[in-house]
Amino acid sequence: MPVIVRDVAVKSVLTKSNLPVSDYSANPYTGCLHACKYCYASFMKRFTNHPEEWGEFLDVKTWPEIKHPGKYAGKEVFLSSVTDPYQPAEKKYRRTRALLEQLQGHNVKLSIATKSDLVLRDLELIRTFPDARVSWSINTLNESFRAEMDRAASIERRLEAMRVFHEAGVRTTCFISPIFPGITDVPAIIGRAKGICNLVWLENLNLRGNFRGVIMSWIHENRPELEGLYHAIYTHKDMSYWNELDMMMRDYCMSNGLPYVRNDDSMRRDFDAPPVVVNYFFHSEIVRHKKSPCRE
Ligand code: SF4
């Protein structure tokens, strides 16, 4: 499918954020060619009048040089809430890198979320930001399921990028999201990531967007044995799967010497200590409370 790419001039790339984790968010692109089937950000299609399918358009933003980058000193800046700042197009357009260069040296607290290893290109730049944090979303170790759900880097490439950042002394997060009931093996993912990350975030799949039909059809066709479970959770709002997984993770973390907390990643430990596991199963309540539109 051909991808429609446009240049779009915007007044500013940084916007005040209502997310619990950041003061500002920055989206150097509109659209995302990773095209995840469950993308929470696909509502941007409506807001930007794109008739194309999500994953088939990309607006490449340009903005005037940030005049007073010092005003972001001490503020948490999150890249990105509705796109992947290191999707493959970044290799050519370098808009994420341009933004980092404009913010560099101003004591900005940088937080990056991606499903790519292109972020390795900017490792030296990122590590100049004090206390920078980079997270990779991983919700399976099964590459076939991964390829069914997204067009991003393989899981092995994400884990390798996490390892390189961790060994370079940059704080890393393994973002286990979205957790697909009956499919995502959370302990197995933690087992792969726990030596190379400082935080593990757990976030459940929500099906409030218009991708609900896509996911339910995929389950119907590919995992019919799970259809009853998905209807219980997403039609009848039965929370028992999440409550049981919550208890199971509490036990798992206790027996593996990992701190386990709910909705709070403020616990800071030595860089080399085992990661803190944070349960965000119910974080949508917090996000709604803070009137946030979306978080990747
Ligand atoms: S979930 Fe993230 S990586 Fe996937 S399409 Fe959406 S913005 Fe891109």
Q: What does each C-alpha distance from 248 to 128, 185, 186 come to in angstroms?
A: 39, 12, 10
Looking at residue 62, its amino acid is T
Strands 276-279, 260-262: pairing is: parallel
Report the SS3 class of residue 16: strand
196 touches 162 (CB < 8 A): yes
CA angle 24, 281, 215 (to 5 degrees): 95
- According to the model, what pLDDT value does residue 132 have? 97
Tokens describing residue 258:
């990992």
Q: Which of these, 173, 182, 276, lies nearest to 233 by C-alpha position?
A: 182
Domains held by the chain: number: 1
Tokens describing residue 92:
């050519």
Is residue 296 situated within a structural domain? no
Is residue 295 situated within a structural domain? no
Domain that holds residue 94: 4-289
Q: What is the DSSP code (8-state) at residue 274?
A: P
- According to the model, what pLDDT value does residue 292 have? 36
- 50 CA → ligand 1 middle, Å: 16
Mean per-residue pLDDT, 105-129: 98
Residue-wise pLDDT for 212-253, tens only, equals 999 999 999 999 999 999 999 999 999 999 999 999 999 999
- 184 CA → ligand 1 middle, Å: 18
Mean per-residue pLDDT, 21-32: 94
Is residue 294 situated within a structural domain? no
- Residues with CB under 6 Å of ligand 1 are 32, 34-36, 39, 41, 83-84, 115, 150, 152, 296
81 touches 39 (CB < 8 A): no
In CATH, what number is assigned to the domain containing residue 229?
Answer: 3.20.20
Which protein residue's CA is at the shortest distance from atom 6 of ligand 1? 39
Dist CA 140 CA 253 (whole Å): 19
Residue-wise pLDDT for 159-184, tens only, equals 999 999 999 999 999 999 999 999 99
Q: Which of 262 and 142 is assigned the larger pLDDT? A: 142
Its sign, for the CA torsion 174, 293, 36, 215, is positive
Give yes or no for residue 291 having a pLDDT over 80: no
Atom of ligand 1 nearest to the CA of 114: 3
Q: In what order do the strands lie in the sheet with 57-62?
A: 4-9, 57-62, 29-30
Looking at residue 211, its amino acid is F
Cα 136 to its chain centre, rounded Å, is: 6
Window from 52-66, 92-106, 127-141, 273-287 with minimum mean pLDDT: 273-287
Mean per-residue pLDDT, 107-125: 98
Which protein residue's CA is at the shortest distance from atom 4 of ligand 1? 36
Atom of ligand 1 nearest to the CA of 55: 5
